[in-house]
Amino acid sequence: MKQSNKIWTIISFEFITRVKSKGFIISTILAPIFLIALIIIPGLVASFSMNETSKHIAVIDQSSIVVDKLIRDDAKTFFKSNSSVDELKKQILNGKLDAFLLIPNDVLQKGEVTVFTPGGGGIGYIEKIDKIISDIVREKRLLNAGVDKKVITIVEQGIDIKSIKVTTEGTQKDYTEFFSIFGYMLGFMIYFLMFMYGAIVMRGVITEKVNRIIEVINSSAKPMEIMMGKIFGIGGVGLLQVLIWVILLAVVTVAGGSIATMFIHQPSLSSISQGAAATQIKGLPFDIPQIPIGVWFAFVFFFLVGYFMYSALFAAVGSAVDQEEDAQQLQMPITMPLIIPILFMPAIMANPDGTLAIVLSLIPFFSPIIMTARIAATSVPLWQIATSVVLTLGTLLLCVWLASKIYRTGILMYGKKPSFKELIKWIRLAK
């Protein structure tokens, strides 16, 4: 029998027995239910309240083209204002105003309209504004250009609405904040997955050692095959779980969005579901811009590399001890580099292009968490990404090599808990 088949046997056993276990099924189902509750309930509540209470939105129309149509469309919400921008900002902070709309003179040329909001408050009305102004501007533009009405219906070009959040510190772009939070989230998820599945690998190794199963398996397959089979099998379980969650999340947000929009009675859902606006998920208490596919690639890549790196080390620790309690001390050098990036995360997200962020994201043990977060939050130069990929892959190989040496000695050793000195001796002695 070929060796690859043995690894495959181990991988499939580890994968199948774990996927079939109650723990996996429960955690896979419970986590999204929790998440759904977190996402959909505020969304629904927001959409319900949208219909009941109308907002007060002031409109400063420097172009004088749009405001009349807006008021015609929804007189309850929009009213014309001649106050200054600063005055209206004050009113927002006082709570007298829900938002105000600044339509510049050159709206037809630049197609930019600004909404000032106190932050939050639902996106229902922003979409409404988007829709109405898009229609007006598009029509005007095309008519000015002397285009046929037929062509106008074909062209789907909309306008950009910049959502500016008014805070006491000043104004900032909403999406930057979103991407920062999103980067933080991805980084934290990688941290969580690496830690959780690394610990599962370690427990699996300890279980086989404590129950003396390892002696039996060891007489059938090589230690390297046993260790890597376990890591791959459990990694597969992790990947499957993440995949199930992502699919569930996609289904739920799309379905949740449709449900929410049904309550809002959006007049032209179909036109929104085409074009760039399609990636905006409706029914949420915040809007989600399109997430570049590269971010997802980075997420999956760094999750896998990080998982393999840390789980190999976790396997080595597991092989060295006789029971889980003894693993605490030996785990320290593994858990520290896992936790450090999380501690630095707020500083890094505050300035994802700063020196601290760049340096930390290039350190291989930190890269999976920090580089993923940075890639999501900012546009990381290619050389930095390439460097971290090369460094993490190299470190991964080194970790697997060292871990396999500790592992093959460790699984046969019982009795005294080994010190770091002894682990180093094992590495040197193993041929």
Partner 1 sequence: MKVLDVNSVTKVFGNYKAVDKVSFSIEEGKIFGLLGPNGAGKTTIIRMITNIFAPDEGSIKIFGEDINSNSKNQIGYLPEERGLYKKTKVIEQLEYFGRLKGLTRNEAHKKAKYWLEKVGANGWENKKIQELSKGMAQKVQFVSTILHEPNFMIFDEPFSGFDPINAELLINILLEMKSQGKTIILSTHQMYQVEKLCDDIFMINKGKQVLNGNLREIKKNYGKNNLIIEFEGNGNFLKSISQNQIIDYSENRAEIKITSYDEAQQILKNAITDNQITRFEIEEPPLNQIFIDIVEKNRDEYETIK
Q: What residues make contact with partner 1 under the rule CB under 8 A?
A: 1, 3, 5-6, 9-10, 13, 17, 21, 207, 210-213, 215-222, 412, 431
Q: What is the DSSP letter of 281?
A: P
Q: Least distance in Å: CB of 124 to partner 1? A: 50
Q: Least distance in Å: CB of 215 to partner 1? A: 4
Q: Which is nearer to partner 1, 74 or 324 (CB)?
A: 324
Radius of gyration of the chain (CA): 28
Structure tokens at 149: 């009405």
Structure tokens at 292: 């570049």
Q: What is the DSSP letter of 71?
A: H
Q: Least distance in Å: CB of 217 to partner 1? A: 7
Q: How many CB atoms lie within 10 A of CB 300?
A: 16
Q: Which is nearer to partner 1, 9 or 273 (CB)?
A: 9
Q: Are 204 and 292 in contact (CB under 8 A)?
A: no
Q: Least distance in Å: CB of 232 to partner 1? A: 15
Q: Which is nearer to partner 1, 9 or 83 (CB)?
A: 9
Task: List, in order, residues 6 or more apart from 327 with CB less than 8 Å away.
Answer: 202, 206, 317, 318, 321
Q: How many helices (H) and strands (E) does the chain have?
A: 17, 6
Q: Which is nearer to partner 1, 180 or 409 (CB)?
A: 409
Q: Are 356 and 362 in contact (CB under 8 A)?
A: no
Q: Least distance in Å: CB of 419 to partner 1? A: 15
Q: Which is nearer to partner 1, 210 or 248 (CB)?
A: 210
Q: Least distance in Å: CB of 198 to partner 1? A: 21
Q: Which is nearer to partner 1, 221 or 252 (CB)?
A: 221
Given the structure tokens 């060295």, which residue do they identify? 320
Number of residues assigned to the chain: 431
Q: Which is nearer to partner 1, 216 or 251 (CB)?
A: 216
Q: Least distance in Å: CB of 214 to partner 1? A: 9
Q: Which is nearer to partner 1, 13 or 79 (CB)?
A: 13
Cα 340 off chain centre by: 19
SS3 254: helix
Q: Which is nearer to partner 1, 1 or 145 (CB)?
A: 1
Angle at 353 between CA 305 and CA 187, to 5 degrees: 35
Please report, in angstroms and rounded to a whole number, the separation of the first and last CA atoms in the chain: 25
Which amino acid, residue 112? E
Q: Least distance in Å: CB of 3 to partner 1? A: 6
User: Could you tell me the CA-to-CA distances from 71 to 105, 123, 158, 370, 384 in Å, in that order?
Assistant: 18, 19, 20, 48, 51
Q: Are 316 and 169 in contact (CB under 8 A)?
A: no
Q: Least distance in Å: CB of 16 to partner 1? A: 8
Q: Which is nearer to partner 1, 13 or 245 (CB)?
A: 13
Sheet with 78-80: list strands edge to edge.
78-80, 57-61, 99-103, 112-117, 160-167, 170-173
Structure tokens at 17: 């027995």
Cα 336 off chain centre by: 23
Counting beta carbons within 10 angstroms of the beta carbon of residue 106, is it exposed (0 to 12), middle (13 to 18) or buried (19 or more)?
A: exposed
Please give the Cα distance from 126 to 122 (Å, whole number).
Answer: 8
Q: Least distance in Å: CB of 333 to partner 1? A: 24
